[in-house]
Amino acid sequence: MSDILMPKATAVWLIDNTALTFEQIAAFCGLHPLEVKGIADGDVAMGVRGLDPITNMQLTRDEIARAEANPAYVLKLHEGRKLNLPPVKKRGGRYTPISRRQDRPDAIAWFLRNHPEVTDAQIGKLIGTTKSTINTVRDKAHWNSANIKPVDPVTIGLCTQIELDAVIRAAAPRRKVEVVEEDPTLAPAAETSPYVDERDYRNYTADSVFGRRDD
């Protein structure tokens, strides 16, 4: 049983204070019988202080006595230590209030215009719509296409800003990087290189260039 508090410390106390077998202690504490034997021999859990399972309401005295009388009996955790937690509900599809459902095409249009990298599946999950609806908005085949205007889904209450940011962040790697093409009106770099005089300057000297000329 692995849900008890401090298994080794509990095993130490049971070894020192009861006549339970190693197998019974091992089964209750979730340990191997050889590990329990090592605790009893002082080879395992040296220096560990025993933890009383009766004080901690993990066992009752009657349960220990019942196990001591029958070596084949398996100790049961005291019911008072079990937590009756409500069953975990599986999250279903996002519910959209009826008053907000007519706003979903506007949110879809907002995604298509501002974040085309977000997939249809992500949009549908976030605002509670279907791929067919997304396609009709994209193809302008929606029955109300004339009145659809891109609106931030957070503004109309279809999702929270945190949820929207998470979706956009997840889709960011798919965003196409816009490549700025060179302006065709500009001349190629090879044609705009600095002017080089074709004359041979090797025949020029400092005197001939900077020398003083007699008038």
- For the segment 64-92, what is each residue's pLDDT rounded down to a tens digit? 999 999 999 999 887 765 545 556 555 55
Q: Does 166 share its domain with 103?
A: yes
Contact 21, 39 (CB under 8 A): no
Residue 116 lies in a domain: yes
- The residue among 49, 80, 111 that closes a domain is 80
Contact 127, 163 (CB under 8 A): no
Q: Binning pLDDT at 50, 70 and 90, where does residue 181 land?
A: very low
Residue 11 lies in a domain: yes
- Measure the CA–CA gap between 128 and 93, rounded to whole angstroms: 7
Contact 150, 110 (CB under 8 A): yes
- The residue among 34, 51, 80 that closes a domain is 80
Residue 139 lies in a domain: yes
Query: Nearest Cα to 1, choosing from 19, 24, 18?
Result: 24
Chain position carrying tokens 């008053």: 99
The pLDDT of residue 200 is above 50: yes
Residue 90 lies in a domain: no
Residue 51 lies in a domain: yes
Tally the domains of the chain. Answer: 2
Read off the amino acid at residue 150: P
Q: Binning pLDDT at 50, 70 and 90, where does residue 180 land?
A: very low
Average model confidence (pLDDT) for the chain?
78
Give the per-residue pLDDT at 45.
Answer: 75
Give the per-residue pLDDT at 1.
Answer: 44
In percent, how much of the chain has pLDDT > 70? Answer: 70
- The residue among 24, 52, 80 that closes a domain is 80
Mean pLDDT of 28-37: 90
- Measure the CA–CA gap between 160 and 153, rounded to whole angstroms: 8
Q: Does 132 share its domain with 167?
A: yes
Identify the three-state secondary structure at position 127.
Answer: helix
Mean pLDDT of 132-158: 89
The pLDDT of residue 156 is above 90: no
Vertex 39 angle, CA 38 and 40, to 5°: 90
Kindly give, in sequence order, each residue whose CB lies less than 8 Å from that of residue 74, ignoring residues fewer than 6 positions away.
24, 27, 28, 67
Mean pLDDT of 90-98: 54
Residue 15 lies in a domain: yes
39-53, 157-171, 180-194 — most confident range? 157-171
The pLDDT of residue 22 is above 70: yes
Neighbours of 179 (CB within 10 A): 5
Q: Binning pLDDT at 50, 70 and 90, where does residue 213 land?
A: low
The pLDDT of residue 6 is above 90: no
Q: Does 106 share its domain with 75?
A: no
Residue 192 lies in a domain: no
Domain that holds residue 29: 7-80
The pLDDT of residue 206 is above 90: no
Express the helix, strand and coil content of the chain in percent, nearest 5 each. 45, 0, 55
Give the per-residue pLDDT at 120.
Answer: 92
Residue 137 lies in a domain: yes
Give the per-residue pLDDT at 178.
Answer: 43
Q: Which sign does the torsion angle of CA 40, 62, 3, 73 carry?
A: positive
pTM > 0.75: no
